């Protein structure tokens, strides 16, 4: 009996010693971790480890993150990040094994009370942010701050979603406010420099705003055209004339601007130094017919684009375009084959004296034209030659027939292949890769009439579920640790507050 009591006493003593030891082990690291200042260097010391990985990835990047923002008829502004492997961009198109890009939604909300018409992005600032401007038919211009840091996948549980796309929110993406200086629907937005925002609307004005305090510095007023008939597709009210600036293009020297408007068969040149009209150039009737404008067409310019070197500019119509030189004389005509409508024009960065223009069409193609090279016109009565088509992306031959409403051409570094992001009216955003050398290979080749060679390779497709009207995209090349600063500060404050409450 005495022996059993002694064994019970030994067991209870061991249990109490074990409890005290375990309590001491748990208490010893936790209390200094909350109160002592040594925990902050330890937490900060983990960041250089991430930074070294980032610097290692910068020297030899493994993936490329692209931020895509789309506007739609449903008033929705949708932003998502597409992460593409560098192996996919550098691999041979003949290789069958290609990794699909991964997509993560960054924001999705109704930004306007009516359809979103246009988007514009500014150059990145010192804080690694870009300003996004959105224009709509509700006469408002909304402004947002977008971070250029790639998305960071955290260990926290993801938000529940019905789709397979992950949701990664960035606290650095914030809304700045709205501009209300236009009285009609906004048609075009552009940041020619980091400090200026140009906006054109149906009230026949082009406003110039300063990005520092968003003050309207100047307003260029275009004249209201005379009523010479009711063009097809006219939406003006009874007794009114269709008015508005369809598009504008600014010369790289920031001294000259060209505008085209509704109800006008002409384009206007403006001196940006004085803010006054520099001239008016009327479209010849034979030139409009050569560009695909029919008898019952409005004959108004719809799109404008300057060449890469600023030596020529392109005026886009409904089914064709005309290339003008600096002397305002027509140099060439762009007319897709087979005939189709044009929706958007972008200049491709080619360099080496080349000037390449990319055009999106109604039948799902992106056709590349060399503005420096011309061929003889198929019709004998046409005096102006045609631009040579270098190649095309997509189309019915490649299995893509939906119209390309807008697109963006990106190049993340010099000498790298082009990454082309296209947005279709069916809600699909497609990624393509194409080399500049592959485009230029078609400059000297002779092809049969009505055929254009296929170039580029499709990388991936992301379904947004909205009818896309406009699109912008940029490479997220900001430092990865910047996107984590605000979250770390909030977490540190929460930990300090919890430690104080525990001590009390």
Mean of all residue pLDDT scores within the chain: 80
pLDDT band at 21 (very low <50, low <70, confident <90, very high): very low
pLDDT at 177 over 50: yes
pTM equals 0.79
- 348 is a domain residue: yes
Sheet holding 404-410, edge to edge: 404-410, 418-424, 428-434, 457-463
Top pLDDT among 384 and 133 is at 133
- 30 is a domain residue: no
**Local structure of 489: helix, strand or coil:** helix
Q: How far apart are CA 371 and CA 113, in angstroms?
A: 40
pLDDT at 443 over 70: no
Q: Which of 220-224, 398-402, 481-485 has the highest mean pLDDT?
A: 220-224
What CATH number does residue 302 fall under?
2.130.10.10
- 7 is a domain residue: no
- 26 is a domain residue: no
Range of the domain at 496: 61-502
Contact by Cβ (8 Å): 177, 115: no
Average pLDDT (366-382) is 81
Average pLDDT (384-394) is 89
- 27 is a domain residue: no
Q: How far apart are CA 365 and CA 404, in angstroms?
A: 7
Question: Tokens 């593409």 sit at which residue?
Answer: 84
Question: What is the DSSP pairing of strand 129-136 with strand 141-147?
Answer: antiparallel
pLDDT at 15 over 90: no
Contact by Cβ (8 Å): 407, 393: no
pLDDT of residue 13: 52
- Which range among 27-31, 103-107, 437-441 shows the weakest confidence by mean pLDDT? 27-31
For 188-208, give the DSSP string: EEEEEETTEEEEEETTSEEEE
pLDDT band at 258 (very low <50, low <70, confident <90, very high): very high
Q: Give 329-360 pLDDT, tens digit per residue.
A: 999 999 998 899 999 999 998 777 778 999 99
Which pairs count as long-range contacts for 47-53, CB under 8 Å and 24+ apart, including other chains? 47/481, 50/480, 50/481, 51/481
Contact by Cβ (8 Å): 44, 453: no
Contact by Cβ (8 Å): 483, 170: yes
Determine whether 473 is exposed, middle or buried from the number of CB atoms within 10 Å of its CB (0-12, 13-18, 19+).
buried
pLDDT at 159 over 70: no
Q: How many domains does the chain have?
A: 1
pLDDT at 142 over 90: yes
Helices 39-59 and 2-35, packing angle to 10 deg: 60
pLDDT at 365 over 90: yes
Question: Tokens 């709509």 sit at which residue?
Answer: 136
Angstrom CA distances, 407 to 68, 69, 96, stand at: 10, 11, 26
- 43 is a domain residue: no
pLDDT at 97 over 60: no
pLDDT of residue 9: 55
Q: Which of 16-20, 230-234, 384-388 has the highest mean pLDDT?
A: 384-388
Contact by Cβ (8 Å): 115, 153: no
pLDDT of residue 481: 53
pLDDT at 315 over 90: yes
- 22 is a domain residue: no
pLDDT of residue 57: 38
pLDDT band at 19 (very low <50, low <70, confident <90, very high): very low
pLDDT of residue 127: 85
Sheet holding 76-85, edge to edge: 166-167, 102-110, 76-85, 63-72, 468-475
pLDDT band at 399 (very low <50, low <70, confident <90, very high): confident
Q: What percent of the chain has pLDDT over 70?
A: 74
- 345 is a domain residue: yes
């Amino acid at each position: 009996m005495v022996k059993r009591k002694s064994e019970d006493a030994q067991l209870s003593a061991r249990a109490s010693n074990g409890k005290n030891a375990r309590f001491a082990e748990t208490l010893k690291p936790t209390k200094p971790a909350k109160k002592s200042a040594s925990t902050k260097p330890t937490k900060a010391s983990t960041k250089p480890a991430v930074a070294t990985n980032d610097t290692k990835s910068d020297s030899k990047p493994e993936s490329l993150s692209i931020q895509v923002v789309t506007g739609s008829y449903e008033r929705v502004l949708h932003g998502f990040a597409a992460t593409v492997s560098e192996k996919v961009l550098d691999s041979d198109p003949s290789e069958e094994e290609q990794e699909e890009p991964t997509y993560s939604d960054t924001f999705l909300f109704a930004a306007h009370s009516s359809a979103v018409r246009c988007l514009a992005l500014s150059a990145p600032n010192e804080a690694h942010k870009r300003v996004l401007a959105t224009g709509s038919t509700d006469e408002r211009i909304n402004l947002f701050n977008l971070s250029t840091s790639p998305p960071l996948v955290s260990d926290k549980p993801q938000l529940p979603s019905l789709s397979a796309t992950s949701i990664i929110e960035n606290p650095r993406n914030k809304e700045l406010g709205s501009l209300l200086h236009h009285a009609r629907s906004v048609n075009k937005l552009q940041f020619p420099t980091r400090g200026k925002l140009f906006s054109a609307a149906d009230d026949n004005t082009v406003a110039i705003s300063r990005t520092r305090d968003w003050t309207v510095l100047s307003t260029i007023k275009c004249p209201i055209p005379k009523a010479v008939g009711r063009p097809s597709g006219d939406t003006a009210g009874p007794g009114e004339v269709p008015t508005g600036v369809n598009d504008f293009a600014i010369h790289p020297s920031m001294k000259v601007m060209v505008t085209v408007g509704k109800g006008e068969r002409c384009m206007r040149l403006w001196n940006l130094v004085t803010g006054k009209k520099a001239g008016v150039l009327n479209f010849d009737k034979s030139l409009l017919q050569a560009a695909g404008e029919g008898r019952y067409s409005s004959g108004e310019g719809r799109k404008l684009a300057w060449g890469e070197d600023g030596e020529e500019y392109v005026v886009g119509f409904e089914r064709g375009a005309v290339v003008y030189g600096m002397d305002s004389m027509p140099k060439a005509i762009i007319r897709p084959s087979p005939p189709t409508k044009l929706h958007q024009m972008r200049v491709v960065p080619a360099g080496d004296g080349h000037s390449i223009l990319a055009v999106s069409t109604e039948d799902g193609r992106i056709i590349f034209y060399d503005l420096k090279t011309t061929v003889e016109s198929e019709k004998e009565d046409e005096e102006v030659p045609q631009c040579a088509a270098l190649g095309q992306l997509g189309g019915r031959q490649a299995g893509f027939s939906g119209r390309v409403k807008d697109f963006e051409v990106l190049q993340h570094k010099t000498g790298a292949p082009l990454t082309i992001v296209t947005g279709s009216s069916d809600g699909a955003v497609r990624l393509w890769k194409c080399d500049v050398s592959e485009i230029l290979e078609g400059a000297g080749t002779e092809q049969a009439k009505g055929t254009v060679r296929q170039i580029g390779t499709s990388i991936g497709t992301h379904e947004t579920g909205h009818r896309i009207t406009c699109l912008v995209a940029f490479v997220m090349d900001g430092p990865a640790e910047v996107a984590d600063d605000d979250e770390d500060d909030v977490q540190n404050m929460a930990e300090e507050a919890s430690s104080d409450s525990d001590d009390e």
